[in-house]
Structures are given as structure tokens and as C-alpha cells.
Amino acid sequence: MRWRSPEQIRRRRRQRALRLRAVALSGGKPAPQLYLVAERSVPMDADLHPAHRQAADWLILLREEPEDAPTLARFEAWLDEDASHARAWASVSEVFDLLGQAEPELASHWREAQRQDDATAPPLSDLRPTPKSRTPRWMRSRRTAVRSAGAAVAAALALAWIAPSAVIHAQADHRTGAGEMTTLALADGSQVQLGPDSAIAVDYAKGQRHVRLLAGQAWFEVERDPDAPFRVQSGDVRTTVLGTGFDVRQIGDTTSVAVAHGRVRVLDQGIAPSTARELTAGHWVRIDGDHLVEDGRSNPALVGAWREGRVVAHNRPIAEVIDELRPWYGGRILLTNSDLGQQRMDGVYDARNPQAALRALVGEAGGTVRQITPWLIVIS
């Protein structure tokens, strides 16, 4: 056997993970989007339908708790919510065919589901445990089966994080990891503070001041220069300033902008320029991938509270607060109770201790937080 250094082994594993991730995202077919997405200003996970991300979470959880009745019940309820969930489950599960873990009889269901469109999707009963045996054979709690699935689960987690990270790494000039923050001085004297799990690309060529937020969130203190407006691009949303302090956050396909002092102009480039908004101190705006807009006012002193390791909730849905805590945790956070996620809460949470913050947040609403593994938290 040829000897390889630890670095060579890690490199080969990363390359294989990227290939598997590409196939998984395309439903088992060659996946050019792994390369095309490098031309876009959002991480690959933002391109995925939420149902696919949820299906990946369910696949991991069901392998961790294959005989847990409440977990199976919540999974079936999730399948029933929307026909797209069954197709997403079929597509995401296909990756385990590649890893040699899936049963042939289930693989045929997965491939059949992928060939169906919205009107002809297969019955959900074909994709869930049968009445005779509510737990599929590939989920039964045989210790040997769970052990053999462990490598596949670890690989799936690696794919979910390595591929988007590789794409962002290729574009980013500056980036941070989970729970990390850093402060940068740009060429004109402007300051950028990057939040956890965040990345930016900087372009100061030809007298322009242009920053792309590739992932996460960032705080900007901008030096005034009327001849060179400072612009921050996040997806389709462009924020233009002359001199101010403001916060930009990207979660999935949603961009939020909040102003602590000064004035900014926010334009959604996916719709008419006449819809641009000017924000002053205390104003915030949130624009999602469907170009739906929310706006409001908050205490300017609380804008960018994450810079001090705090997440502030004022009548915010629990699911939204969880999303803000995700970059502070080095693993996966799975919310299995949509009703719980819609409850609104008030509070200030310590983002530097995300596990404790989640327990405080969810406990107030009567939910539970379970640490399934060091890299998986389940909230129900």
C-alpha cells in the first residue's frame, strides 16, 4: 500500500467530499452548479430549497435515533406538510446510495420520486416506514448497522460544510470560522468587523469602494468620501453609504441592513430602482429572496450587538433567533417543531455560549434542547 501523509489523506477526503456533495445536490446526476455557483455572491447552501436542508437534517437525526417513536412521528408529520418534502427526502437520501449504505429496495423509491413533478409525486407512504414495520430496515437499531452508518453520517456532515466553504474560500479576501470574529482595516481607513462564520470580498480597483458579503454578517464604519461611495453587496441587495456605521447580515437568501448612525441607501436590484429606501439611525430593513420587504425601528445602541457576543430578541420568532445563533455553533442545529419556531420571544442571549443560549431561548417557550452528538443539537 502506498504511504500517504496525513495532509494528503485529508486532501483526498476533501476532494471526495466535494464530488459527493455535488452529486447529492443534483439528485444523483452530475452537478455543474458546484462550479457555476463560484460566480455568485452567496454560499452554495443558499441555493438549496429549504426542504433539501431539512431533509438532510432528518436523515442525520433518523440515523442517530432510528427507533425513537416521537422522532419518527415528527418525521412523518414533516413529510405530510408538503409534497416537496417527499421529493427532497428522495433527493438527499440518494447520496447514501453513493456511500453504499442504502437498501436497494429503497433506492428504487428514491429514483422514482426524482422522476416525478409536483403533479405526479409518488404517495408519501412509499417513502416512509410501512405499517408492517414502521422503521425501515436501513434504520433499525442493530448496533453494527448504526456503526457502519456512522462513517456515512460523518461524510454527509463533511459534505454539507466543506463544499460551501470551498466555494466561499475561493472568492473571499477575509473570512472567519464558527464563533470567531475579526476586525479589518480597509485601504481607505474604513473598518469592517466580521461576525462568526462570515466572509467578504473587497474590490477597491479604479477608485471604487465595493465589498461583497459572501456569508454571515459584518459591521461597517465607513470613512466619508463623496467622490467614492462605499457599497456593500449581499445577494441582490446593494447598500450605498457616504459615511456611517451599519450592520449587514445574510441568512440564506435574506439580507438585513440596520443603521447605528449616519445614513444609507438600500436597493434591491431584483426590482425597480424606484423602490430604494434611505435608512437613518435606528432604522432596519429585511429583504428576502422573493423580494418581500420588512422594515422597522430599533434602539440604535442595539444595532450590531453581536459584536459583543449578544443576540437581542424583541418580539422575534424563535426560529429567527436560532438562525442568528447558528454561526456561533460549530455543528448542526435542527429545529423539528415548526410551531415552537413561530413563537415570539424577548430577551438577550449570550452567543458565545450557544448551547446555553439555546436552552434559555427554547426553555422559556416550553421546548427542549438535546445534544445528540458533539456536532448535532436537536430542538423540539
For residue 96, what are the CA distances in angstroms to 27, 30, 100, 106, 138?
A: 11, 16, 6, 11, 11
- Residue 98 lies inside a defined structural domain of this protein: yes
Q: Tell me the sheet residues that pair with 264.
A: 241, 279
Could you tell me if residue 281 is inside a domain? yes
Q: Which of these three, 306, 322, 351, is where a domain ends?
A: 306
The parent domain of residue 92 ranges over 6-171
Last residue of a domain, one of 145, 171, 197: 171
Dist. CA 236–CA 251, nearest whole Å: 13
- The per-residue pLDDT string of the chain (380 residues; one tens digit each, 9 = 90 and over) reads 445 555 555 445 444 444 444 444 444 433 333 222 222 233 334 445 677 777 877 877 777 677 788 888 888 888 888 888 887 787 776 655 444 443 444 444 444 444 544 444 444 444 444 433 344 444 444 344 444 444 455 455 555 545 556 667 778 899 998 899 999 999 989 999 999 999 999 999 877 899 999 999 999 999 888 788 899 999 889 999 866 889 999 888 889 999 999 889 898 887 777 778 889 999 999 988 788 788 889 888 888 899 999 999 988 999 999 999 999 998 888 888 889 999 999 999 999 999 999 999 999 899 999 888 778 888 98
Q: What is the DSSP letter of 224?
A: P
* 157 and 42 in a common domain: yes
Distance CA 174, CA 352 (A): 21
CA distances from 202 to 205, 288, 358 (A): 9, 24, 34
* Largest interatomic CA distance in the chain: 72
Q: What is the pLDDT of residue 156?
A: 52
Per the domain annotation, does 1 fall within a domain? Answer: no
Q: Are residues 241 and 323 in the same domain?
A: no
Any idea what the CATH number is for the domain that residue 326 is in?
3.55.50.30
Q: Residues 352, 268: one domain? A: no
H or E stretch including 75?
helix 69-81
The verdict on 249 and 139 lying in the same domain is no
Both 183 and 69 in a single domain?
no
- CATH number of the domain residue 275 falls in: 2.60.120.1440
Give burial (CB, 10 Å; 0-12/13-18/19+) of 325. buried
Is residue 256 one of the residues assigned to a domain?
yes
- Reported pTM: 0.58
255 in the same domain as 207:
yes
Angle (CA) 233 193 277, round 5°: 40
Judge whether 126 and 149 are in contact, CB under 8 Å.
no
How do beta strands 310-317 and 369-373 pair? Answer: unpaired
Are both 112 and 187 inside the same structural domain? no
The total domain count for the chain is: 3
Q: Is residue 253 located within the same domain as residue 351? A: no
Whether the Cβ atoms of residue 61 and residue 334 lie closer than 8 Å to each other: yes
Report whether 201 contacts 211 (CB < 8 A). yes
Q: Do 42 and 99 belong to one domain? A: yes
Residues 149 and 201 in one domain: no
Query: Do 321 and 237 fall into the same domain?
Result: no
Per-residue confidence (pLDDT) for residue 328, from 0 to 100: 92
- Please say whether the beta carbons of 376 and 350 come within 8 A: no
Among 142, 171, 200, the domain boundary falls at 171
The alpha-carbon radius of gyration of the chain (Å, integer) is 22
User: In this structure, are 161 and 20 located in the same domain?
Assistant: yes
Neighbours of 361 (CB within 10 A): 24
